[in-house]
Chains A and B, each alone.
Chain A
């Protein structure tokens, strides 16, 4: 179970432990946290909602893409759902590879792909209202009906 959606707080070490391998010279860990200020606006808390069964499949797909691009990589990703307060951990990505440069690159790739293809949404709650947030990458429509790998670096 390297790819999970969790309603409970994420145990960061357990995600890291999944990618430990004798061949690895590096493990990078990305921890996404809930930020208080976005463009000067104060967030009180977030609600994350997922299409859980599909989200797990899409996280697995990201893992497969990484293994194809970076030899010897191991990947584990857990994304939280439900109500999260400021500073709470929303996502943890661990990548191990034989050499450190690949571990950094592959980890960055994972978070960018999550923001493209994994069906998870956040609802921001502010002092004066609430709104579902979409389109973080400012790419409104996907011309081919789904995000393409090439979209990543745009």
Chain B
């Protein structure tokens, strides 16, 4: 299983801080498409992190990975 985390406006939209899904074997791009369909999200300009490290759209998710969607940041 995989923990999928949302932040900022994505969290507001989804209504949850995280959801649990089995998405192992899928790429980040494939997961983005699933989430866009399920929650009506726009993830084009959103980065992903796998286990707290930035990941490319081509990265394949492994069982147990935590995936986080990181909208453009605005700290500082």
Please list the residues of chain A having a beta carbon within 8 angstroms of any beta carbon in chain B: 32, 48-51, 53-55, 57, 79, 90-91, 111, 114-123, 132-136, 140-142, 144-146
Known: A119-B7, A135-B74. 17 other contacts (CB 8 A): A48-B75, A49-B7, A51-B7, A51-B68, A54-B49, A90-B76, A91-B75, A91-B76, A115-B76, A120-B76, A121-B71, A121-B73, A121-B74, A122-B75, A134-B8, A134-B9, A134-B74
A134 surroundings in chain B (CB, below 8 A):
8-9, 71-74
B54 neighbours in A (Cβ, 8 Å): 117, 145-146
- Shortest CB distance A12–B (Å): 16
B75 touches A140 (CB 8 A): no
* CB contact between A121 and one of B44, B49, B75 (< 8 Å): that residue: B75
CA distance A81 to B48 in the complex (A): 21
A120-B55 contact given A51-B5, A54-B68, A132-B8, CB 8 Å threshold: no
- How far is A145 from B57 in the complex, measured between Cα atoms in Å? 7
Q: List 6 A-B contacts (CB under 8 A).
A: A50-B75, A51-B5, A121-B7, A122-B74, A132-B71, A140-B45
Q: How far is the CA of A122 from the CA of B9 in the complex (A)?
A: 10
Closest to A116 in B: B73
A77 to chain B, nearest CB (A): 10
Q: Given known contacts A132-B9, A145-B57, is B73 in contact with A115 (CB within 8 Å)?
A: yes
Q: Does B38 contact A (CB under 8 A)?
A: no
| Docked CA distance A49–B71 (Å) | 12
Chain A's closest residue to B59 (CB) is: A145
Contacts A79-B75, A116-B73, A134-B72; A141 near B7 (Cβ below 8 A): no
